[in-house]
Amino acid sequence: MPIELQTEHENLLIVRASGKLTKDDYAALLPKVDQLITEHHKINILFDMHDFHGWEVAAAWEDTKFAFDHFRDIERLAVVGEKPWQKAMAVICKPFTQAEVRYYTHEQSDQARQWLEVPPAAR
């Protein structure tokens, strides 16, 4: 499976993606996201791409539905990647979420994590 999920610091979901995402990957992702939103109301996501090749057509549709369903539920989204198109993806996704979105390279992964871990009251 090209997706790996890990939760940290209560409302932080780390999604590691490689290869091409499938509809089944979203079947694994969505219950975890829903659970965290139920518990914390708003979540932060670190979307970390390694050797990532995008989405299958069915997965792209699931991603679109995800964006509409969770438009207000994500506070911060850190996109960590390795290719210029991945950086562009971080910009393109901004109109589909109220989350603050930032792009980081793999060398900046620690900065991405630090940005996501800052409590709302300290911002």
Where are the domains positioned within the chain? 3-116
Whether pLDDT at 61 is above 70 = yes
**Residue 86: in which H helix or E strand, if any?**
helix 84-92
**Residue 17: in which H helix or E strand, if any?**
strand 12-21
pTM value is 0.89
Percent of the chain with pLDDT over 90: 57
Over the stretch 5-22, which tens digit does the pLDDT of each residue have? 888 777 899 999 999 999
The yes or no reply on domain 3-116 and CATH 3.30.750.24 is: yes
Other C-beta atoms lying within 10 Å of the C-beta of residue 50: 14
For CA atoms 99, 86, 25, 59, the dihedral sign is positive
